[in-house]
Structure 1
Amino acid sequence: MLSDQEREILLQEQQQRYLRQSNERSLSRIRRLRVSHAYYVSVLLLLGILQVIGLAFFTKGFLLSRQVLPNIATCLDEQGQLDSCLHASPFDKTVILLIDALRFDFVIPVEESKANTNYHNNFPILYNYFINEPENSLLLKFIADPPTTTLQRLKGLTTGSLPTIIDAGSNFDGDTIDEDNLIAQFHSSKKNVAFVGDDTWTALFSPFLYSNLTHPYDSLNVWDLHTVDNGVIEHMMPILKESKEWDVLVGHMLGVDHCGHRYGPEHHAMKQKLNQMDTVVQDLINSIDDDTLLIVFGDHGMDSTGNHGGESQDEVESTLFMYSKKKHFGRVDNSSYDIGNLGKNYRSVNQIDLVPTLASLMGIPIPFNNLGSPVKEVFIGPESSDDMNYAKVNYLTSQQIDNYRKTSAELSQDEEVNKLFQDIKTQWEALKFDHSKEDIIKFNENASNYQKVSLEKCKAKWAQFDNVCIAIGIFLIFIALLLLIIYSKMIPSVVIAQLNPQFISSTIAIVLVYTLLSASFSIIFKPESIPLLWSIWFGVAIGIINGMLAPVMDRYSVPWLVSQLAENLIQNGWTYFALVLIVLHALIFTSNSFIIWEDKIVAFWIGTFGVLAFFKSFKQEENYKKLIGGYHSVVLIFLTRIASSIRFCREEQGDKCFTNFKITWWSILLLYVSAIILPISIKYFYRISHSYEGAAPFWISKGLRSMMLLTAVMWTLEYVENDEYLNSQLNVSAVLFKSVRITLARVVMSISLIASNIIWSMGPICVRLEIETKPNAPRKANFIGYGNVYGSTYFLFVINILSAILLVNKPLGGLSLFILINQILTLLELVDLLDIRNNLISVVIMGLLGYLHFFTSGHQATLAAIHWETGFLLTETIVFPFTHIAIALNTFGPFIIVGLCVALLSLWKIPPTAKPISLISKIVENSTSLLIYQLCLTLSTLIMANHFRRHLMVWKIFAPRFMLNAMILIVLNVVLTLITVGFASGTVIKRWYKMFGGAN
């Protein structure tokens, strides 16, 4: 018989043993949760690597490339005689002024009825000299070969070669150009090249520039309109007037280009820059002597938004002007210089034609890789009758092109072109002994034809694609899609978490084996299409595929997996609708017209979902659910319509679209309005689930509102700084404006991305403990906000990232994101009401919202639509990674928000669960569903871009769309794998699991 004391001791020991066992079970569950979470992240990471490798292979095969020949041209002919240069150079010195983005209609007269006062008729000097001194000057339309980017244009302007997207053997990432070029030829000919301006020249030509007279300036801050131009003026005029050490003087001015990027051509700042250019050219003309040639030209134009990079008429049409104080220039045909409708009828030459023209004028060898033709007006004399001089230049140019073609293995076997050269060579030999004017004219026609045919043949030859790499890329993306479907839709939800503990190590081992096999194959057989490095990547991809398929095929048969797909994927009519949307979105890329109007199509689909949700809501049993569902459906439709009214049109949409995406006073005002309304709106959604407790009021009403107001103030300063009237009235230093603006931007960015996330990771909660006391009854504890503990806490993290993205978006872009957040919260309520949180339709609509607001935040699937200027919100110059982060957040902000919020489909309005692994698996399933949707679109763009690779619009529409989809896929993989699943959702679930101990 135990005494009372012994029973008490025994009872305490039992309680302690129970507590220890309970703690051990809890720790064991937490360890299993961490391990399972790590497995999910590992699987997503491996699948992401596979997708990136597939995209890399397709890109390598699709983006055109050519091999650059390293040969250097000389004045020696085949017999070693000095007969391959035009030695009687008419000029001793040359002054070159490159005005970046000098569009042709900026320099010609335009009728007042058709003119824009800010960019027309403000740079008249070139045209005036051309009309008043026709024998001393020449004005031509200067046609650039796309892509119309400065680096590619400088290459064409100095080498005479054609650009492709990737030039094998010639790296333009800041390395010295290793292709024969004019600057190198000047240097070899003992001519000193002085330079002032854009530092791209020093990156490309540094060994060939005369260091004593070289003054580079940082070129990439597109918000700085004056530093480079003022530097050119400061140094160029003294060099021209006082120094005798130079033979060629180059100035590269950037103000016009930067003004276009920052404000567009219609801004008043453009008028000021063009007036300044007019003055600079006049000063240069006044300063040169009779033996100096002045050349003024642009490297490309700009579109209506001030951007460039594509192949629209406004982007490729630039300006070439030449001037000499002695009479030198002739005319081909006066009717060819008819200005016409904004210069559309004006005579034009290719930009690569400058290379043989300038080389011949200066008596240096024509660069070896040149494909351009000499400009006829420069060589026929002021009487337009010196056809023999033009013939000699024509022959030297043709001879250089023939040397180039014979040296190139891919060009030398073209018998048609070779015969054309042999014919003109025979004619040239005959002209040396006996010639008439008719013979010379005939020779010039044949030589020009040879040069033209050669150029066209080269364009066709270099438009070649690597079909092997393209096929590998498409295959790997297809397999990645298949693996995503298997892991998210076919395997039971918790199997990934229960994979063999050796899964990761065995996969890595398989990857290493296949990598070694692939590398060995490359070393032994040396396939041309896939060199060693790419063979290694292919081995990694095959290893990942085998490593991930092995545990699946070991456990399940194919028929069983297919049955699981049918069972798990097809749930109800909503799923069929989601599949229809995915298929239709993928089919958009089969037509350039559909791609052009994708923004409107996406808005229509979201509106269609809203209409279906409206009618579906009225099938609810409870009346209040019918009303709430109908209300949220109407709100979603209304917000979609409002968002779609923000338009940034692409060129192909023509007059059927009017761009209103501009920084205006009313868009700034809307920023302040949204800063007031958005926190109130979020507060409303929180109160639906009684979650506006704890940290929520501070985070939403104070934190978010403060960040949005500071962002609004920053954009106000930007607007005032660049408004002509307000700037003049306030009379505040531009330096002060810039300093305050950058300081505000840095404060908002540092708080949003660093400080707030550190605090969030420490565990802010959106619940309140309420103790209920009643007489003669035990006290009762109630957690207010318990029913949405995951979603309310997770959304605070979304707010942090949202604040940073709002900062780098222009005012109307900020309004678009304001609408996006309200649409997402509305969608979450509909998803809960209609019980479709695990249905494919919820993920598809979330993805469509990302696309809708990509377009309505001022973007299009074109290179020219990238907001490069936002990279200078945080810094005055390019500073890694701040500049790059700003541009990435601006471009992909809507997709980042959608990628974060896809977890809320599983977390919103649910209480703590005793099965956290199952909850993580649902988040992973929705995340992979979003990746499946994006992979379907990406696979379609790859196939269609390859199918239409000879289409007229391939580089204007299909290729940019494929590149955008590829970038979105990479961004979503990073966000979903590392942030949504890897950090944010895992942090929230683990935190609440520890707090509530798995209680239901």
Structure 2
Amino acid sequence: MPSSALNPPPTLADLERRPPPAGPAIPSTPQHPAFGQSALRQRRNRSNSHSSHDSHDSHGSHSSHSSHSSYARRHPDRVPPKAASPNGAFLSVLAILSLVLAYTLVGLWIFIKGFLLTRHELTGVNECAKPFDPSWSLPVPPWSFDDALLLQWAETSLNPQTGAGECRLAPTHKKAVVLIVDALRYDFIASPPPPSSSAAQGVEDGWTPNPYYHNILSVPSQLTTRYGIPANANKPGPSSFIAHFTADPPTTTLQRLKGLTTGTLPTFIEAGANFGSAGTGVGQVNEDHWIAQFKASILAQSGKNEGGNAGLVFAGDDTWSTVFPGLFDSDKMWTYDSFNVEDLDTVDRGVETRLLPFLQQNHPNRTAGVHDDWRLLIGHTLGVDHVGHRFGANHPKMKVKLEEVQAFLKDIIEAIDDETLLVLMGDHGMDERGDHGGDAELEVGAGLWMYSKSGFGYTARKQHFDPAEYISGSEVEALLPSRIPFSPLPSPPYPSSGHRSVPQIDLVPTISILLGLPIPYNNLGSIIPDLFPHPDTLLRTLRITAKQMRTYLTTYAKHSPDLAAFSREFDTVWLDAVRADAELAALLQGGKRMEEVEKAWRKAAQAYHRFNRVSLMKAREVWAQFDMVRILVGLVVLVLGLAVIWMLKSGAQDGLLGVLPIAAQQNDENGEATTETRKEKRRSKGTQELLSIVLQSITRPAQIGTAVGVAVSQASYLLPLISSLPKFGVIESTLASATIASQLSLLYDHLPQTLVSGKKEGEGDVPNTTKVLNVAGYVILAIHAGLFASNSFLINEDRFILLSLSTLITLRGLRCIGSCPTTRGKIRSAIITLLSLLLVRLASISKVCREEQAPNCKSTFFSTEALNSPYLMIASYLFAYLLPTLLAKFLGQSKSFVGIAPLFFNFGLRPTLMLGSGYWLLDWVIPQDFVVESGWGERLDWLKGWVAKVDLVLLCVLGLLFWIFAPLCLEIRQEPANTASPEREENKPKVTIRGYANSLGSSYLLLVGIVVSLLWLVTQPAGQLSLAAVVLAAMLALELGDAERDTLILHDQKHNPSSPIRPPHLSSSEIATLTLLSHLAFFSTGHQATLATIQWRVAFLTSPVLSYPLSPLLVLLNCFGQLTLLPPLLTVLSVLWNSTPQPRGSAKKMFTPQHILAALLTTTLYNTVLLLSLGALSALVFRRHLMLFKLWTPRFLMASVAGVMVQLGGLAAATAGWQVSNKVNNVFGSEFQ
């Protein structure tokens, strides 16, 4: 049935037929009490002759305010009192929601402090004062190979500080040039397939090289094919080494720079430091690293002070200034903005311009005395990475950028001398969309190329010698294979053995040894054996690396227990390595045959390499410690908070028992009636009384808990009994104890009555179908929370959202079809249901697939990986134009598209939506060849930025101000009198208030339109289409919910005709539908619970330069706006939709604040259950799972952000509902409780 059937627009005659107050007749100019002292009045002259007219201004007045006021003063008994303000009721709603938010924040903060602790950093430095000895040999072994003697021999004789051990080797190179090409994937530099391809063998593999990035940057592969590693050379010569360079996730630049310089492993939570800026200390490296060791060595050799210039030069990504402040020579460091992904060339041109003068003697910018004295050149280009983010890997601009890198690399190779080591590498890879951040194969698959004109050493051996195979064993290969497959370069045509692969942190000890430096203190990498092609040199480097790693692990165990579980295994493999080394020393001392020595050499090398790899892999398994005490305390707070939410939701619906004041009339001694206020235990009525009961329960327990928390925090430092437990700070302990105390008191006082509360007095029976639907909402929630127990279900959460949403809509539609009393209502419900299902399915077409979903998923969010298509642009513009019209149709159902509504939709919403589409149209046009060739690129780029700025100002400033001060969507229409029989009541002039029945919902929809337009701007075109479909589906869901409540009211009137009509609360299935729609919007706008799907481009929406705090806010809005802003806004809109105001004098109060509170608490309940499920599963069940940081941790962080932001959005949505209610209160005199 039509949603307005129960609430037809009233006429002035209808209102006038209400019983007048006792006393003399009201003067001939009628003033309905509902209008009060507002300006919404219509004068009716004595002759009853009116000209019909429409008034689109609900504040237009045609009567004298002063005459009405004087009448009120003369006859106070005939004018109803001024309606009570809704401020108290809504302030109570905000207070209760704030309390729930505080509980969530405390629990989440404590839990995260225990679950996402960063790796314990040791600030020790490898103080290697011993010079290298070219003639060094193993010391005399112990007289017995007893375990204790072997360990003593290792700690004394092999100790470089106190014994004869080594801590460095003679440098093979005095200088180094390190060129980091951001996001340089391995296959961008890999060699082409060998000549004996599959085609020659008659095998059809179907693989062809990509024309945009394969064999474009070909210099590394050409020189490797020509020179390789001269394993059996007898004199120095050029050497080249190329490999797959495996990055440790998270594959963000800052974390990779730490690993490439310190040799340490990152933790997941450190990815957030990528937004740190220079000078803040966020992301700064405080650990020992090879660049600092190189600088110290240079200064020591030259006799300069510690702060002097050492000839360290840098140009490129400004992240280096964050990671290494003050490290490079102050006059030889040039940094460029790293986040401006729109700029493809500035950083690359800057690196070339700044570094080539140091290398080329005839460079025009070279200055004698300035460009001569250098020892280390580091360049970090960003063009390849930015092309990936902007267009994807498979794009012609990628070929152009790789050709530029090729030309730059050729200039470097030509200019370097024999003493210079050249390193080309990527800090991480990229997927085909150009994204990175996670641990997908293409994201961690960077490329490494090392080249030297003088070689890395020569062997003077006649037999073939493969260092990687020489030190490898079956156990080590199982832990960390030296050759791996790589999907962009499949077999065939590439060898089935795979591609040579080394971990990125292996660069640290390798480059340290080559430059004659001590290995950084915290290093967990091993050397790259291919660069040390003599057994003796190889063993010495492995021994030095293992010895330093052993020192680090021993020291680490004293500061943190997280590696304690592997201490026995560490000791075993270390003892095996020392034993093999002692056996070799005994053979060398005894002058044994060379064959035996060779075997012992290899055995010792394999043993040390095994120790290095076991240490790395065990540390990688742990890589972050867990504080179980904080985790459990945080979970307790969250669980109790969930129970409190349930209890408060029930209290908002049915009231809570408490001691409350009640007014009672009695006669005094003189027989006069007096009113006395006394207190009695009863159920709360309204949100103010609910808040009063809550405060009674939590105030004193919170005070006691605060005192206990302070005492406990101090006792943890004083009492030996609990000194072993993690120490809580004063703030942490106080918040935890006060929160838990107040939660327990609140639950103890009111949870039992909530669980056993039955049907309220006067409340009718609820149809069984309604009960089933209410249960269905919670069943969907339980399944949603439970699917995180399986990694397969978690990976395919987007499919579950589509399935569960379709199921809920179908169930609700069938229920409405079966319950509607009229055929028209049944047909309308069926149409709404079918349209909702269609829109949901259309919205789900746009998606981005996770790596784990392959090959059963194909990304459709981008038409060609990262480039939006012109067809999407056209569709985006079309929907930007049509969406306001379609939304207006919903207002038309309740005759609410009146007043300011047409003005807003036609001249406010539609232009801002089209500006949002126009921004992305310009974004697509600017890089097109015809625009680049015309020279209009810069001007259009400037215009694009201003389009976004204008749109943001229109929405966030002018739009919000307009909405705050705009009148309700009302219109007064007057019908002329029937002059034939003017004396009859029905023939008198009639004044109809159009929009009355939905005056709350129509005004609130304008605000929802502003938020949707804001999300439209930060969402790319494919996502805009999905967003439009989700918004329309949500509006249909509102109509479906309104129809459900109408049938409940009709059912209640039928079975309880004497009971007063009380609008039902939103059902759990309705709120679950809105929440699932927001999840669908999240997935269909190009997002997944992975770092790689973060759309960094929107950070530069208004400017090519990163700006704080706007840029992070835009990224946050793009990622979580649909997930966190839509649910509370749509929930409140659903409460207000077709909620008819009760005019002054009706003796009825509106329950809007209670309904809003109950609905928002149900939305909060949904998100809190998901958060709690993920937190408990991650910390208690899967904390040692291999996929913890790949699957559960990102989803937990997503749930955490969503849980907090939904509650913040709920506060904003409730405040907006307060504003609309104030307007209705002022116009109609409606009262709220």
Q: Is the 8 A contact 2:847 2:1087 kept in 1?
A: no
Q: Offset at 1:841?
A: 1.1
User: Bigger CA drift: 392-401 or 808-817?
Assistant: 392-401
CA distance in 2, matches of 1:301, 1:132: 26
Q: Which residue number in structure 1 is paired with residue 184 of structure 2? A: 102
CA distance in 2, matches of 1:120, 1:332: 28
Q: Is the 8 A contact 1:373 1:451 kept in 2?
A: yes
Q: Offset at 1:871?
A: 1.0
Q: What does 1:651-800 correspond to in 2, within 5 Å?
A: 651-662=851-862, 663-724=868-929, 726-727=930-931, 731-774=934-977, 775=979, 776=982, 778-800=988-1010
Counterpart among 899, 903, 923 of residue 1132 in structure 2: 903
Q: Offset at 1:496?
A: 3.6
Letter in 2 for 1:41: L
Q: Is the 8 A contact 1:871 1:886 kept in 2?
A: yes
Q: Which residue number in structure 1 is paired with residue 1032 of structure 2? A: 822
1:237 and 2:356 are equivalent in the alignment: yes
Q: Is the 8 A contact 2:621 2:1186 kept in 1?
A: no
CA distance in 2, matches of 1:352, 1:293: 18
Counterpart among 437, 453, 478 of residue 325 in structure 1: 453
Counterpart among 295, 304, 309 of residue 437 in structure 2: 309
1:371 and 2:565 are equivalent in the alignment: no
CA distance in 2, matches of 1:247, 1:428: 38
Q: Which residue number in structure 1 is paired with residue 113 of structure 2? A: 60
Deviations 1:757-794 (A, max 9, x none): 01110123211111233033654321111111000000
CA distance in 1, matches of 2:644, 2:1150: 21
Counterpart among 347, 350, 353 of residue 500 in structure 2: 347
CA distance in 1, matches of 2:700, 2:1107: 39
Deviations 1:260-319 (A, max 9, x none): 222221122212211111111111101101111101111111123211121121111111
Counterpart among 167, 192, 215 of residue 334 in structure 2: 215
Q: Quickly say closer, same or farther: Cα 1:999–1:444, change in 2 above 3 A.
A: closer
User: Bigger CA drift: 639-648 or 110-119?
Assistant: 110-119
Letter in 2 for 1:644: S
SS at match of 1:861: coil
1:34 and 2:109 are equivalent in the alignment: no
Q: Quickly say closer, same or farther: Cα 1:50–1:427, change in 2 above 3 A.
A: farther
Q: Quickly say closer, same or farther: Cα 1:103–1:18, change in 2 above 3 A.
A: farther
Q: Quickly say closer, same or farther: Cα 1:921–1:994, change in 2 above 3 A.
A: same
Q: Offset at 1:795?
A: 0.5
Q: Quickly say closer, same or farther: Cα 1:785–1:545, change in 2 above 3 A.
A: farther
Q: Is the 8 A contact 2:245 2:504 kept in 1?
A: yes
Counterpart among 533, 556, 563 of residue 757 in structure 2: 563
CA distance in 2, matches of 1:313, 1:379: 28
SS at match of 1:265: coil
CA distance in 1, matches of 2:317, 2:1025: 36
Counterpart among 1092, 1095, 1115 of residue 864 in structure 1: 1092
Letter in 2 for 1:209: F
CA distance in 1, matches of 2:1005, 2:323: 48
SS at match of 2:942: helix
Q: Could you tell me the TM-score, scaled by structure 1's length? A: 0.92
SS at match of 1:221: coil
User: Bigger CA drift: 897-906 or 831-840?
Assistant: 831-840
Question: Quick one: percent identity of the two aligned structures?
Answer: 31
SS at match of 2:975: strand
CA distance in 2, matches of 1:267, 1:21: 79
SS at match of 1:820: helix
Q: Quickly say closer, same or farther: Cα 1:185–1:515, change in 2 above 3 A.
A: farther
Q: Is the 8 A contact 1:516 1:536 kept in 2?
A: no
Q: Is the 8 A contact 2:1178 2:1193 kept in 1?
A: yes
1:887 and 2:1115 are equivalent in the alignment: yes
CA distance in 1, matches of 2:788, 2:181: 38
Q: Which residue number in structure 2 is paired with residue 7 of structure 1? A: none
Q: What does 1:75-114 correspond to in 2, within 5 Å?
A: 75-76=128-129, 78-79=160-161, 84-109=166-191, 113-114=207-208
Q: Is the 8 A contact 2:709 2:737 kept in 1?
A: no
Q: What does 1:612-631 correspond to in 2, within 5 Å?
A: 612-619=811-818, 620-631=820-831
CA distance in 1, matches of 2:856, 2:438: 21
Q: Quickly say closer, same or farther: Cα 1:932–1:458, change in 2 above 3 A.
A: same
Letter in 2 for 1:597: N
Letter in 1 for 2:971: R
CA distance in 1, matches of 2:747, 2:574: 60
1:648 and 2:704 are equivalent in the alignment: no
Kindly indicate whether structure 1 or structure 2 has the higher relative contact order, using CA contacts under 8 Å at least 6 residues apart.
2
Q: Is the 8 A contact 1:223 1:262 kept in 2?
A: yes
If each structure's helix is expressed as a fraction of its own residues, which one has the higher value?
A: 1
Report how many residues are paired.
Answer: 975
Q: Is the 8 A contact 1:130 1:138 kept in 2?
A: yes
Letter in 1 for 2:905: I
Q: Which residue number in structure 2 is paired with residue 497 of structure 1? A: 688
Counterpart among 1192, 1198, 1207 of residue 958 in structure 1: 1192
Q: What does 1:72-471 correspond to in 2, within 5 Å?
A: 72-76=125-129, 78-79=160-161, 84-109=166-191, 113-134=207-228, 135=230, 136-166=239-269, 173-174=276-277, 175=281, 176-189=284-297, 190=299, 191-241=310-360, 242=366, 243-328=371-456, 332=466, 341=491, 345-380=498-533, 386-408=534-556, 409=558, 410=561, 414=568, 415-424=571-580, 426-427=582-583, 429-430=585-586, 433=589, 436-471=597-632
Q: Could you tell me the TM-score, scaled by structure 2's length? A: 0.75
Q: Quickly say closer, same or farther: Cα 1:920–1:461, change in 2 above 3 A.
A: closer
Q: Quickly say closer, same or farther: Cα 1:963–1:565, change in 2 above 3 A.
A: farther
Runs of at least 5 residues in structure 2 that lack an aligned partner in the other structure: 1-23, 25-67, 130-158, 194-205, 231-238, 300-309, 361-365, 459-464, 470-481, 656-684, 718-722, 863-867, 1049-1064
The higher radius of gyration belongs to 2
SS at match of 1:187: helix
SS at match of 1:122: coil
Q: Quickly say closer, same or farther: Cα 1:362–1:538, change in 2 above 3 A.
A: same
Q: Is the 8 A contact 1:329 1:377 kept in 2?
A: no
CA distance in 2, matches of 1:209, 1:601: 52
CA distance in 2, matches of 1:455, 1:625: 68
Letter in 2 for 1:178: N
Runs of at least 5 residues in structure 1 that lack an aligned partner in the other structure: 5-10, 381-385
Q: Quickly say closer, same or farther: Cα 1:523–1:588, change in 2 above 3 A.
A: same
CA distance in 2, matches of 1:846, 1:575: 14
Q: Is the 8 A contact 2:126 2:520 kept in 1?
A: yes
CA distance in 1, matches of 2:919, 2:433: 22
CA distance in 2, matches of 1:457, 1:484: 42
Q: Which residue number in structure 1 is paired with residue 1076 of structure 2? A: 848
CA distance in 1, matches of 2:703, 2:171: 63
Deviations 1:670-714 (A, max 9, x none): 111102221121121111111111111111122111112222221
Q: Quickly say closer, same or farther: Cα 1:879–1:179, change in 2 above 3 A.
A: same
SS at match of 2:873: helix
SS at match of 1:299: coil
User: Bigger CA drift: 337-346 or 518-527?
Assistant: 337-346
Q: Is the 8 A contact 2:1068 2:1162 kept in 1?
A: yes
Cα RMSD, aligned residues only: 2.9
Q: Quickly say closer, same or farther: Cα 1:253–1:857, change in 2 above 3 A.
A: same
Q: Is the 8 A contact 2:112 2:631 kept in 1?
A: yes
Q: Is the 8 A contact 2:640 2:743 kept in 1?
A: no
1:595 and 2:714 are equivalent in the alignment: no
Letter in 2 for 1:847: T
Q: Which residue number in structure 2 is paired with residue 478 of structure 1? A: 639
Q: Is the 8 A contact 1:123 1:278 kept in 2?
A: yes
Q: Which residue number in structure 2 is paired with residue 988 of structure 1? A: 1220
CA distance in 2, matches of 1:89, 1:82: 19
Q: Quickly say closer, same or farther: Cα 1:284–1:771, change in 2 above 3 A.
A: same
